Amino acid sequence: MEVKKVIEKIDDLIEDHSMPKRIKVVLEKIGKELKNDIVNPEICNKSRTEGSSLEQDVAVRVTSAIYELEDVTNDINIPMHAKTALWDLVSDLEAIKHEEE
């Protein structure tokens, strides 16, 4: 699974009118963080320290996204269809995380 495909899924979920606003806010934050290194790696390279790499940054961002999505899915007030979509997204992110290892 590619990060770009996950970003596309995130954008689709943000556009879904049945998604609660709370979830959209989290998805927008996650999407923005994942896009940082993917869209503008040369800009992000300026702020990197020595020994750091794009792969490490992506892995950290993916792990952070997984934790945020898991936190949202634990809310009992989230509709079941939204939880299912978020679990699918978490699964895709975990696949990326394992590819990076």
Closest CA to 3 of 61, 87, 88: 61
pLDDT of residue 20: 94
pLDDT of residue 99: 84
Exposed / middle / buried, residue 35 (Cβ in 10 Å: 0-12, 13-18, 19+): middle
Q: What is the dihedral of CA 32, 69, 98, 37, to 10 degrees?
A: 10
CATH assignment at residue 42: 1.20.1440.50
Quote the domain boundaries for residue 61. 3-100
pTM of the entire predicted model? 0.80
Give me the helix-helix angle, 54-73 and 80-100, nearest 10°: 160
Q: ∠ CA(52), CA(58), CA(63), 5° rounding?
A: 115
Mean pLDDT for back-to-back runs of 10 residues, the chain (101 residues): 91 96 96 79 48 69 95 93 96 90 69
d(CA 58, CA 64): 10
Q: Domain total for the chain?
A: 1
Q: ∠ CA(15), CA(82), CA(33), 5° rounding?
A: 60
